[in-house]
Structure 1
Amino acid sequence: MSEHINISPSLMTMDLDQFKEQITFLNDRVDSFHIDIMDGHFVPNLSLSPWFIEQTRKLSYKEMSAHLMVTDPTFWVQQLINIKCEVICMPAENLTGIAFRLIDQIHAAGLKAGVVLNPETSVCDIMSYIDILDKITIMTVDPGFAGQRFLGSMLDKITELRKLREEHGYRYCIEMDGSTNKAHWKMIHDAKPDIYIIGRSGLFNLADNIEDSWNLMIAEFEEATGRKFA
């Protein structure tokens, strides 16, 4: 049996010397692009930016989803609103006292608002505003760097969020981020996230060119899950 898998490539892990080639190829095959924005404080790394989203938009018509790993989400949210980034996902750990304000600000601009739960952060921490979220991202690795150890127990949060959504009619989609690759495809697929973020180990590093990498990713998914990739 085949099924559609909602793939969101993490552009932090792509080959920038093949930027145009990779974006052009992926445009017709993925549902969205995942853009990590780090400030060097919330996590000890720097990554992409609103400017990068603007450059990607010159080649892509797909939805852009920004993953903020920052200490001051207010500063970055306004920049992303200015460029009309379709989805803005904020770190739950830094939303105390400003969650409703920022979510309302994003919605008022006609955009989607999400939060990211890092491994140490539980679903109960976002229950006061879960009903107005459009997306919840579950980190299955420590944030900030590619290639971190996979934390399989974090998949339990996906199961918990699916149950809450079914019971209460919440509208959020559930996304997972971290080590989506051959070793973990089966357990991730069994948890049933709505969106799979996939990066270096699951896509971009599988071959020297994006078409071969994509085909290898599909083969690994099908081998691990026993399902046909549609």
Structure 2
Amino acid sequence: MAPLLAPSLLAADFGNLQSETERLAGSAADWLHCDVMDGRFVPNISFGLPVLQAIHRHARQPLDVHLMIEEPQHYLAAFRDAGATTLTVHYEACPHLHRVVQQIKQLGCRAGVALNPHTPVWVLEEVAADLDLVCVMSVNPGFGGQAFIPNTLRKVAALKELLVDSGSEALIEIDGGVSLDNAAALVEAGADVLVAGSFVFNSPDPVATLAQMREQLSALVAPPPPDYR
């Protein structure tokens, strides 16, 4: 499968979210990544249900909703109703993670779990087979524009091994500091979905930047040449 691109609207112009969302409609973006922050689980507040509903009205791509919030189990149905296709909760915020994953799946959404940089991948051994997505945080969550943590590459490779061993078909998503400088290495390590925020929206032309990323990544999954022997 070709890697998916999910530009993060956290880095978009919040004063023009409709136009920002609409101009991505015909771009190389596969999903739109939406970071919901509560100021408790992470030291920042981004946006909530009304803004997500507004984004959904103008979006062409599925909404990949990343809940960086405490007690996410209380809000899952509301975010599904607001337009989420994927709901990702943090391992660190869910003492009853298996129950929360099952809640998400019962709502008809893809169930994702995010891991902070300090959290090892082995904590997912008992739920890996139930997951649709694992989001590896390659920065400390809470703010856009942070530098990519190099150890993420090793972590992705270890996660890929865990998923294969458990028979899980979960996608591996990378969130934080993704750019053309590390996208290829991440995919080669096992990543399936790349979330890019500042690199995309701080560029002169976000649509062209996404196209450039797609071109780079397409070369990694090009089919082998035909065998004419």
* TM-score, normalised with respect to structure 1: 0.86
1:227 aligns with 2:196: no
2:226 is matched with none
- 2:60 maps to which residue? 61
Aligned residues: 221
Q: Describe how 1:19-38 pairs up with structure 2 within 5 A.
A: 19-29=17-27, 30-38=29-37
Unmatched tracts of structure 2, length 5 or more: 223-229
| Cα-to-partner distance string for 1:96-151 (whole Å, 9 max, x where unaligned) | 2x212211111112111110001001111121211101110001111100122211
Counterpart in the other structure of 2:133: 135
Aligned amino acid, residue 48 of structure 1: F
Moved more, 77-86 or 54-63: 77-86
User: SS of the counterpart of 2:40?
Assistant: coil
1:107 and 1:189, CA in 2 relative to 1: closer, same or farther beyond 3 A?
A: closer
1:143-188 deviation digits (Å, cap 9, x = unpaired): 1001222111122222122223333321211100011123333432
Work out the percentage of aligned pairs sharing the same amino acid: 27
Which residue of 215, 220, 230 maps to 2:208?
A: 215
Per the alignment, residue 107 of structure 1 pairs with: 105
Separation in structure 2 between the aligned mates of residue 178 and residue 69 of structure 1, nearest angstrom: 14
Q: Residues of 2 paired with 1:163 and 1:139: CA distance?
A: 18
> Are residues 46 and 229 of structure 1, via their aligned partners in 2, closer, same or farther at CA, if it must alter by over 3 Å?
farther
Shift in Å at residue 195 of structure 1? Answer: 0.5
Counterpart for residue 94 of structure 1? 93
CA shift at 1:26, angstroms? 1.2
Paired residues of 2:71 and 2:94 also in contact (CA < 8 A) = no
Contact 2:11 2:197 in 1 (8 A): yes
Structure 2 residue 196 is the aligned partner of structure 1 residue 204? no
Question: How well do the aligned residues superpose, as a CA RMSD in angstroms?
Answer: 2.4
Q: Which residue of 2 aligns with 1:150?
A: 148
C-alpha separation in 2, matches of 1:71 and 1:122: 20
Corresponding residue for 1:185? 183
Unaligned runs of 5+ in 1: none
TM-score of the superposition, structure 2-length normalised?
0.86
Question: What residue in structure 2 maps to residue 47 of structure 1?
Answer: 46
The answer as to whether partners of 2:184 and 2:220 remain within 8 angstroms in 1 is no
